Structure 1
Amino acid sequence: MSVRYWMLVLLAWFGLSFSQNALAATYRCSSATGQVYFSDRPCGGTSDAATGGTKLGGAGPVEQGDPRARAYSYTPTIPKPPEHAKYLVGPCAEMEEAIRTAPVRGIQGQTLRSLYEDYRTKCDYQVREAQERVNADKREQDRMRTEQRQMAAAQQAEGQRLDNQCANMRAVIADKRASLSTLNDRQRELLQNMQDNYNRTCINRR
């Protein structure tokens, strides 16, 4: 046989070997704790058994479009701005937003550190002033809540006082009416005045 024939046989054998190795290059496995990892050996093999690896599905490479692989992808989210951010203005407000949204825009490393250092250097005073305004807002809210509680307590105390007063007036009126025939004209007049005062103060008060 010619050298050309053997060269073709060797090339075909190497191509087949490479194709088989490529197909079995990546396996998606899970440890005993449920952590997903990828291996170049079948799940549950000698190297994976020691760590509790288990095989998921059929052996073979994970397809790029496999939804199981996409389910574990991490997508960063934009965090909520801090309370004092609403009081920042101009470049400081822009830098605060740029730092907060950096992960979703792929900004990290030295670029992010430089941005943060610039923000800390140029906006330290404005940030502290904005934080003090937030604290002042909270103090004002606390003051208003305290005043509301005090007003509610005062109204409750006044209501209790009027309840007691009306109860006493009812008792006196009932006692006087029980002995109405023994009252003189002046006493009857005082009783009528008390009755009128009770009607104005106590009837339909609530």
Structure 2
Amino acid sequence: MNAIWRQGLLAASIAVILAIGAMPAAAGEHKHKEKSEDELGIRKGSVYEEEKVEPKHGEYSHKEPGKSKRIERAFENSPPLIPHDLTGMLPLAETNNACLNCHMPETAGGIGATAMPKSHFFDMETGKDLGGKLDGKRYSCLECHVPQVSLPEPIKNQFKADFRSKKSRTSSNLLDSLNEGVKAE
């Protein structure tokens, strides 16, 4: 392709772009009104006065443990949300952990609580089964599990989780599926 032909193609392309830009809007086509800086974003406030904008906090559940409805997991093996009030249960520590009173497997079934999965009684670093003893890294429950809050979504969540079984919507099989598809040499 010679240089003169390329220059002609470039000039023709620019002319077409300019002509399209100069055309009047098609009938029925909407012109969008410009938005002010205060209308941009989710919170609808001035980006220059962020320190004055108060985030919405919503309402946490006030239902006592055992009276709340179990919340479906966000995706398979995700940590479940806490559906009940935490008043009087905090802080959590290895020597003082109210969660263990209801969620240890030997207790949970009898009272209708979600039992901690096998992965909490397994040392992931060494691959050692701890024989029913809770892994020492699992006492800080609130690092993974958080209370559910009622708050309107500013943008509708379109994510749809794909669960492999009905049971995986409310319980974990992480330890069973962790090495799924992995072949040892």
TM-score range, shorter chain: under 0.3
Quick check: which has more Rg, 1 or 2?
Answer: 1
Structure number with higher helix proportion: 1
Please, what TM-score do these two structures have when normalized by structure 2?
Answer: 0.26
